[in-house]
Structure 1
Amino acid sequence: MELDAALLSSSEIARIARRIDRPLVLVGMMGVGKTTVGRKLAHMLHMPFSDADEEIERAAHMPIPEIFATYGEPYFRAGERRVIARLIGAGRHVDRKVLSTGGGAFVDDATRALILEKGIAVWLDSDITTLIERVGRKDNRPLLKTGDPREILTRLRTEREPFYAQAHIHISSNAQPHQVTASKILKAVDQWL
């Protein structure tokens, strides 16, 4: 795909932005680019951006690896569920924004149901090799600290794929510029609306 052909004009982006009436919620595996692409999308759409993981850390006053180590994954998932509900606007009013979620958020039944009801769920997907390369850049992935990252990512992807597949939109974010991935998302959202 040629880069210029994949990008949208500012008038096309503005037209799509006017049609979006609820949060765009990015779901998918750790390292797939949800936060980076989410920031790019929010900038393109002139919408606020929220990262659920950053908000969880702020609410807990500690980094996610420390939450996992101190309280365990079930405690973390319960807090994640509450934070995502707040960020989406779980009442009658939902905010137009872009929201990136943690890799396991969409696996939780209540969180997934809320996202599917109140938002536009966008599953960002990538091959395992790309994920390994991306997660290797950071040392803040508690689920990868217990063994071989390739084996863990492969297992997690297999377990989580049926949940991710329930998202409204599915986009591949393999090795391509974030601008291209963001444009692909907007084109898919435009078709979905």
Structure 2
Amino acid sequence: MNPAPNLILVGPMGAGKTSIGRRLAERFGLEFTDVDQVVVERCGATINTIFEHVGEAGFREREKAALGQVLAETGKLVSTGGGAVLDRDNRLAMQRRGFVVYLRVGVDAQLKRLGRDRSRPLLQRGDREQVLHDLAATREPFYLEVADLMLDTDAMSPGAATTALAQLLAAQWQRSEQAA
């Protein structure tokens, strides 16, 4: 057993962090928190608008602050943004304050899942497939670095992935109430 006060989902866009996260939170009696949504609420603007006004670097600063605030609490299931792992301090905070699950997904599945999605600023840059390959090449090592557990969600529905992950977590993770 690997005790931790929070359960944290990392992985690329389209891996199922939000849809699986909501289901898992309910199953484990945790409060679901989407870090991107925290940033949106704090800023009073969409992620696209934040990117337009302060760029990716400005968004990442806000993301880091929101993640730090969320991880200071206990009993959370935290869905991170795909790029949250890029920051070393974020990675350390995740490892210190949670049991981290990497939801892995291939580019082909991402393209299918994100086909109609126009809300993701990083996908507005030319060839979506190439962008996803480039993001995967950059971020995969960081996902692997922080992960306590990995689940490939390529061929799974959110319900099936939730069931599979819940079984793995029951054997490998124990909720602790350690303070910040």
Identify whether the pair has TM-score above 0.5, normalized to the shorter chain: yes
What is the aligned counterpart of 2:76 among 89, 94, 97? 97
Aligned pairs, number: 172
Query: CA–CA distance in 1 between the matches of 2:52 and 2:115?
Result: 20
Partner of 2:177: none
Gaps of 5+ in 2: 174-180
Looking at CA atoms only, which structure, 1 or 2, has the larger radius of gyration?
1
Partner of 1:6: none
Partner of 1:43: 26
Q: Deviations over 1:56-108 (max 9, x none)?
A: 0000110001111110111111110110111111xxxx411211011100121
What is the aligned counterpart of 2:6 among 19, 23, 37? 23
Residue 183 in structure 1 maps to residue 166 in structure 2: no
Question: Deviation at 1:52?
Answer: 0.6
Question: Deviation at 1:189?
Answer: 2.4
Q: What is the one-letter code of the residue matched to 1:185? A: L
Partner of 1:137: 116
Contact 1:123 1:164 in 2 (8 A): yes
Residue 150 of structure 2 aligns to a residue in which SS? Answer: strand
Query: CA–CA distance in 2 between the matches of 1:125 and 1:65?
Result: 24
Partner of 2:127: 148
Contact 2:24 2:162 in 1 (8 A): yes
Question: Deviation at 1:114?
Answer: 0.1
Partner of 1:121: 100
Query: CA–CA distance in 2 between the matches of 1:52 and 1:174?
Result: 23
Could you state the TM-score of these two structures normalised by the residue count of structure 1?
0.84
Residue 165 of structure 1 aligns to a residue in which SS? Answer: helix
Q: What is the one-letter code of the residue matched to 1:169? A: L
% identical equivalent positions: 31
Residue 103 of structure 1 aligns to a residue in which SS? Answer: coil
Q: Deviations over 1:102-153 (max 9, x none)?
A: 1100121111110011111110001111101111232111011111110000
Q: What is the one-letter code of the residue matched to 2:116? A: R
Question: Deviation at 1:21?
Answer: 4.4
Q: After alignment, is 168-177 or 182-191 more displaced?
A: 182-191
Could you state the TM-score of these two structures normalised by the residue count of structure 2?
0.90
Contact 2:4 2:99 in 1 (8 A): no
Structure whose residues are more often strand by fraction: 2
Higher relative contact order (CA 8 A, sep 6+): 2
Residue 14 of structure 2 aligns to a residue in which SS? Answer: coil
CA-atom RMSD in angstroms: 1.6
Residue 72 of structure 1 aligns to a residue in which SS? Answer: helix
Residue 38 of structure 1 aligns to a residue in which SS? Answer: helix
Residue 157 in structure 1 maps to residue 136 in structure 2: yes
Query: CA–CA distance in 2 between the matches of 1:164 and 1:145?
Result: 23
Question: Deviation at 1:20?
Answer: 6.0
